[in-house]
A and B are shown apart, each in its own frame.
Chain A
Amino acid sequence: MRPRIIPVLLLDSRKRLVKTRRFSEEVYIGDPFNVIRIFNEKEVDEVCVLDINASIEERPPDVGFLAELASECFMPLSYGGGIKSVADATPIFAAGVEKVVLGRASNDPVAVRALADSFGSQAVAACIDCRRIHNDWRVVFDRGRAVTSRDPVAQASAVEQAGAGEIILQNIDRDGERTGYDVNLVRAVSGAVNVPVVALGGAGQLSHLAEGLRAGASAVASGSAFVFIGRLRAVLITYPSPHNVKEIFTNGGAVS
């Protein structure tokens, strides 16, 4: 099977889709349902939807909304935001979501273990947000507000140990920048764990996705690459055609 290419969609507190730059400067992207429908027709591998304020606002996931979204979504859907426990996750899986993404909760090995035991590791992804602070990579939580002393490689091993079946490695410094992934970061973390690592943060065009894969990522994800086009960052939902995907994997992304 070829590596997955995953659009990441961000929800704000009012269920509007937005796209951030370095986790701020939110730009409105549109109605989540219409965007999902367009991705359906583009036959996207998988979609990841993250509620970026749920944890900060101590808000539990909106199961009704997720059920509606999952019913519209023809591809595998993963969701993150406000999930702390098996009790939170159970109705989400029942609603048709295939994978939960843990942010702050991924730091709690007991919770990760309980989720992996209940639903299987393949249904539990840990999202590791990192930033560079004084030339060191640091793991952060709560939209970058809580800075830890952990480095991403150690954190990746810890969540793998706890039972997470996938790691979404998110680089806040490149978020929305569209200049490409930090390949050294992707390489370091991918090399340290056996579970799939999904690169996120920085991709702006197809060649960047190829770079992420060459650096060792098992799958590549992006917000900007699939919701913006051109110099003016115009909102437009795109996804590489099967023909372009083939080119990414054969020529290392000569297409732009």
Chain B
Amino acid sequence: MDNSNPGVTFDDSGQCTCCRDALARKPHEWWPTNEGRIRLNSTIERIKREMADRPYDVIIGLSGGVDSAYVAHMLRRDFALRILAIHVDGGWNTEAAVRNIELLVRKLDIDLHTHVVEWHEMRDLQLAYLKASVLNQDAPQDHAFFSALYRLAHKYGQRYFLGGMNFSSESVYIPEGGYPAMDARNLRAIHRAHGSIALQTFPTLGSLEYLWLARIRKQIQILKPLNYLPYDKEAAKRELLETYGFVDYGSKHQESRFTKFYQEIYLPARYGFDKRRLHLSALIVSGQMTRDEALQELKVPLTTQEQAARDKRFVAKKLGITVSELERLITLPVVPHERFANNQTLYRINQRFRKIVGSRR
């Protein structure tokens, strides 16, 4: 990490707070050992027994990226689970992403459910976010995914979501560095302020509904199976490539053309923030890369000028605005999410409540 981010400080040895935090969490969150395997086996056996009379054992997400694909691959190969995969199409899919999903679904014989977000609503919402000039521009895509997931789980009576989230490549994040995509009140307020059409079909999950379903009733348990394996993203990618003819589309989270724009152009331009730092730091924490190798990799520019111009043209055209308008939106002064109505107090109360309840147990 470097000190370009507020909230990141360094100790005397030069280690930053987020890496120290990740290292401290490592033994509690990642079990790349035989013990991890045993834990995973017993969890999955329990799920199988519990879900025996349901149409599926688990729900997974498929974005077309490596992590979620590896979850599908591993769960089918090692456990023959009955899997329902969900894919949310926000209108930004790359060809590589849809091809990867197709390859997996066909070869593993997994049932897929796609939720296609109405593009004219998605476009209006994303333009509203850009105009609002807030940090989490990926919130519309993420919110749509989890809302669709809860609906699907309800429809099929499912209880377990096994995600591709993993300590091995994602352990490092900046404290208070993001804004939760699940705050529907914030999403609606941003859209009310800057949107122009009604969101009639966009899948949202109200905050109370979310807290009720996710945190209190625990309708869905979200598990991270990759944390029970010696997961190595590069090795996983090679395995998927050899087994399925998986298509490698370059760096992380580029199954969506919007996310590519957000991470390679928007974040660096507005916050001087290069998201690779988090990813590479995580690989250092997990022992899959040395600090020198990471620094070497950071020397490669995030994108080239030509590529950035192409991506901006693409995003502008897709959103129905000019490139100069998009550039103007990128340079707007940063506005905190809290400037819009939100439910952060509710989340904090819930967290405090859970801490109190948790400590009494």
Contacts and interface: CB of A to CB of B under 8 A. Distances in A.
Interface string A28-48: 111101100110011000000
A205 to B, nearest CB: 10
Interface residues on A, range: 20 to 34
Interface in A96-130: none
A236 interface: yes
Contacts of B120: 14, 16
A155 interface: no
Given A30-B91, A33-B318, A230-B105, A236 B113 contact: no
Interface string B106-132: 100011111010111000000000000
A236 B99 CA distance: 9
B87 A16 contact: no
B87 A237 contact: no
A235 B116 contact: yes
A230 B111 contact: yes
B150 interface: no
Given A236-B87, A238-B98, A34 B111 contact: no
Nearest to A29: B116
Interface in B44-97: 87, 89, 91-95
A236 B118 contact: no
A31 B91 contact: yes
Contacts of B92: 34
A234 B88 CA distance: 10
A135 B50 CA distance: 51
Contacts of A232: 111-113
B280 interface: no
A38 B318 contact: no
A145 interface: no
A234 B98 CA distance: 12
A229 interface: yes
Contacts of B93: 34, 38, 237
A30 B95 contact: no
A231 interface: yes
A236 B91 CA distance: 12
Interface string A1-34: 0000000000000101000000000001111011
B112 A234 contact: yes
A253 B288 CA distance: 44
Given A16-B119, A28-B116, A236-B114, A229 B105 contact: yes
Given A30-B91, A38-B93, A42-B95, A238 B102 contact: yes
A225 B234 CA distance: 33
B119 A31 contact: yes
B95 A236 contact: no
B101 interface: yes
Indicate the member of B93, B102, B116 with the most A CB atoms within 10 Å: B116
B100 to A, nearest CB: 11
A236 B102 contact: yes
B91 A34 contact: yes
A234 B95 contact: no
A16 B318 contact: no
B114 A234 contact: yes
Contacts of A29: 116
A235 B98 CA distance: 10
A162 to B, nearest CB: 38
Nearest to B92: A34
Nearest to B109: A230
B91 A234 contact: no
Interface in A23-81: 28-31, 33-34, 37-38, 41-42
A47 B1 CA distance: 48
B96 to A, nearest CB: 8
Indicate the member of A29, A30, A33 with the most B CB atoms within 10 Å: A30
B36 to A, nearest CB: 32
Contacts of B119: 16, 30-31, 34
Nearest to A68: B317
A230 B95 contact: no
Given A34-B93, A38-B95, A234 B118 contact: no
A237 B82 CA distance: 24
Interface of A: 14, 16, 28-31, 33-34, 37-38, 41-42, 229-232, 234-238, 256
Given A16-B118, A28-B116, A235-B89, 6 more contacts: A41-B95, A230-B111, A231-B111, A234-B87, A235-B114, A238-B102
Interface of B: 87, 89, 91-95, 98-99, 101-102, 105-106, 110-114, 116, 118-120, 318
27 contacts: A14-B120, A16-B118, A16-B119, A16-B120, A30-B89, A30-B116, A30-B119, A33-B318, A34-B92, A34-B318, A38-B95, A38-B98, A42-B99, A229-B102, A229-B105, A229-B112, A230-B112, A232-B112, A234-B87, A234-B105, A234-B112, A234-B113, A235-B114, A235-B116, A236-B105, A236-B114, A256-B106
